Amino acid sequence: MKHRIVVLGAGYAGAYVAGTLARRLSPADTEITVVNAEPDFVQRLRLHQLAAGQEIEAPQLADVCVSTGIRLRLARVTAVDPARRVVAVADAEGGGELGYDTLLYALGSHAANRGVPGVAEHAFDVSSRPAALRLRERLDSLSRRDGDGSVLVVGDGLTGIETATEIAESRPGLSVALVARGELGAPLSAGARSHLRRACDRLGITVLEHISVEAVEATRVLCAEGTALASDATVWTAGFAVSPIAASSGLEVTENGRIVVDRTMRSVSHPNVYAAGDSAYAIGDNGRPLPMSCASAGYTGMQATSAIVGRLTGRKIPNTKMEYLGNHISLGRRDGILQMVDGEAQAKPTYVGGRKAARIKAGILKMSLWTTSHPTFGLPKLKRHLAVVPDAAAERTVA
C-alpha cells in the first residue's frame, strides 16, 4: 500500500513542497494529494495590485500539477483529526474525509480583526483573491460616482503601506489616507522612513499617526481619541491570523494558533504532521520566530521537504537556513524600498530605494511565481524509494 502524503494549502509553501516531493519520491511508493479551496495559484504578494485594478497572473493548479502526478482536491479544509489521521473537507459535492500517513499543513493566514467591532461587517482586506476582488469592485464604484471617494487604510505594516500606495497611484481620483498606530515606518531605517514619507507626499496620501482604531462603521472609523474618520472604503491591514483548525485538532500550537514545530518543521506533538509557511511557528537561525512572509514560506517549505524525504527514505536530514534578511516594499509600480536587517532583526542604516528597489521587488515576485509554477525544475530526476512503506501500512491496519 502506498504512503499517503496530504498537503493542505497550495500557496507559496504548499505548492512548492508538493511539487518537490513528487519529484523526489517514487510514485510506486507514494501518493500525494493537494487540498486547496481555490482552483488557481494566488500570488498573495500582489493582491494589493489586483485590488487596485491591475491584472495579475493566476496559474491553474491543475496545470501546475499535471506533470507531477499530484492529485488535486478542490475543497475547503474543515477539520484535522491527527488521532485518526484524516482530514475533513467540504466541496460542491458535500465533501468527505481524506486519510493520510504524512500531513503537510500549509493553510496560511488571513486578515485579523483584532477583536475590533465592525471589521468583519464593514472593512475590506487583501488577504485572499476573493477579498481583493471585493475591494476592487468597491473602488470601481467609487471611481465611477461624482466627487472623490475616500479610502482609509488601517495598519502601517508592509501590507498597509503597499496597499495604500498602490491604490493612490492606480486611482488618483480617490482620496487615500493611511492610519498608523505609531510612527509611520517605525521598523525602517531613518533614510527609508524619509523615503516612505516622500512617496506618500508624492502620491497624495494623508498619513495619520499614533491613532488607535476602536470600531469600524459603514462610512467611518471611530478612534480611541474620540475622533471619527470618514471613509467610503475601509481597508483593514492591521495584522494577520491563522485558521483555528490546527488548534481545534489537538496539535500543539502557540497562543495565536500557529503550529509549534521542531527544527525540521515537524509538529512537536504529532510526528506525522509537518507545517510550513504562516501556519508554522518556526524559530530562525537568529533565535527569533520567523515572521509571516513569503520568504519564511520558502525556508520552512524547503526544510519540511528535506525532513519528509529524509525520514521516509532513511537518509540524513540536512538543515535549511532559517534567515530573516529584510523587507522588500513596493510603493506603486515605479518606487520601492529594500530594507535589510541585521542578526537581531533590526534595520541596517542603509537601504535601497526608488526604481531600483521596485525592479528588485518585481524580480522577486516573478521568480516566486515561476518557481511555484515549475516546482520540479532543477531537481534531481532520481526518485527515492521509501524505507517505511510497510510500517505505514501496518500502522493503518492496527488502527
Supply the DSSP symbol for 256. Answer: T
pLDDT at 370: 81
pLDDT at 377: 58
Rounded CA gap, 83 and 115, in Å? 32
- Position 371 pLDDT exceeds 90: no
Mean pLDDT of 40-51: 92
| Residue 398, CA distances (Å) to 84, 97, 199, 394, 395 in order | 11, 19, 63, 6, 5
Q: Give this prediction's pTM.
A: 0.90
User: Is 299 within 8 Å of 290 (Cβ atoms)?
Assistant: yes
Secondary structure (H, E, C), 16-40: HHHHHHHHHECCCCEEEEEEECCCE
| Residue 163, CA distances (Å) to 112, 135, 142, 160, 177 in order | 16, 11, 16, 5, 11
pLDDT at 375: 63
Q: How many CB atoms lie within 10 A of CB 299?
A: 24
More confident residue, 203 or 57: 203
Per-residue pLDDT tens over the stretch 106-154: 999 998 888 899 999 999 999 999 999 999 999 999 988 766 799 999 9
Name the nearest CA neighbour of 8 among 251, 365, 269.
Answer: 251
Rounded CA gap, 73 and 189, in Å? 45
User: Is 188 within 8 Å of 352 (Cβ atoms)?
Assistant: no
Supply the DSSP symbol for 205. Answer: P
pLDDT at 54: 94
- Position 312 pLDDT exceeds 70: yes
Mean pLDDT of 161-189: 96
pLDDT at 383: 63
Per-residue pLDDT tens over the stretch 261-302: 999 999 999 999 999 999 999 999 989 999 888 888 889 999
The β-bridge relationship of strands 220-223 and 213-216 is antiparallel
